[in-house]
Amino acid sequence: MIKAGILGATGYAGQELIRLLYGHPEVKIVKTISESYADNKYSYVYRNFTGISQDICSSLDYETIADGIDVLFTSLPYGVLMEKLNEDILNNVTVIDLGVDYRLMNGGEYKQYYGKEHKSIHLSSRFTYGLSEWNEDRIRTAEHIANPGCFATAIQLALLPLIKEKIISTDITVDGKCALSGSGRTLTVGTHFVEANESVKPYKITNHPHKIEAQKAVEYFTGEQARFTFVPHIVPMQRGMLVSCYTRTTTKTNHDFIRSIYEKYYNDKQFVQILDKGMYVETKWVRNSNMCHINFELDEQDNSLIVFAAIDNLIKGAAGQAVQNLNIMNGFPQDMAINHVPVCI
């Protein structure tokens, strides 16, 4: 059995990790770490675990965090892990980080998008970018994983095949919609029910970090330099994410040819499904699952192309992809513990 620790266990992504790992036949959770709820039963924090988990949340001690475990999942706000992570920890436990601190950025870019100096940027070289469907070979032999962000995951899965084949312009506009859980469990004015309900609003229009992450990942996987105009929005849902990507094809083409490109890259990828023509993606059809649904519309008159992708931001955009990466690293079936039919109602 793989012995796992969860740091940030009482956040939304942490809760999803624990829920998924409870169904994993090869993993045993031995550390449930939460500074906010130390010494409380986990089922006190999340009462859906009543009668299932008797775990007690432990306080955080970086000196002993790697003791007794094989893998450490970290799910912390930006800038927290980079303050304390060090070579000793990385030498003694596999880290799968759901946070942003080690995702492709250099120190200057991190400061630009997060407004603070990165204290351990040199450790980034020990992390492999964990977009499961596109980096499987590297993930299989990785030391540590930097799990992609939710918007970055949806954007890349939607666009990478077309960019890789050079059949679309790399000047792309992306409209993103994300549920309130994407902002984390800590309440702010912007995510307060009274403020967010019955309203849709854009945020971080020019400096959302998933924009730079997606751009750098495109170069990482394709060698191309994409330019994104990215406008994310908060919508009053609990979970779910949809991106609409606007671009143009570089040559005259048709629906069947574009579909053949997606099938070339995703035909054997069970968690990425291309919907039938005229069947539009909806967040409800991927809810509570590790699935990504993609479809597109092509206007053959002017070569304009709109690509849509929907994921569950907490699963494919966070915890589910982390478990998928764990499975790849250990030679397990990729769908182990995450092969759930979406819950649409």
Q: Which residues contact 311 (CB under 8 A, 6 or more apart)?
A: 150, 153, 154, 157, 240, 241, 286, 291, 292, 293, 317
| Catalytic-role residue among 57, 150, 245, 292 | 150
Nearest alpha-carbon partner for 16 in 242, 191, 233, 182 = 182
What CA–CA distance (Å, rounded) separates 45 from 29?
A: 17
177 touches 241 (CB < 8 A): yes
DSSP lists the bridge partners of residue 247 as 305
- Whether 150 sits among the annotated catalytic residues: the reply is yes
Using CA atoms, how far apart are residues 115 and 108, in angstroms rounded to an integer? Answer: 10
Cα atoms in the 13 Å half-sphere on the side-chain side of 306:
12
How far apart, in whole angstroms, are the C-alpha atoms of residue 59 and residue 219? 40
CB atoms within 10 A of CB 275: 16
Residue from 25, 32, 53 nearest 337 by CA: 25
Catalytic positions? 150
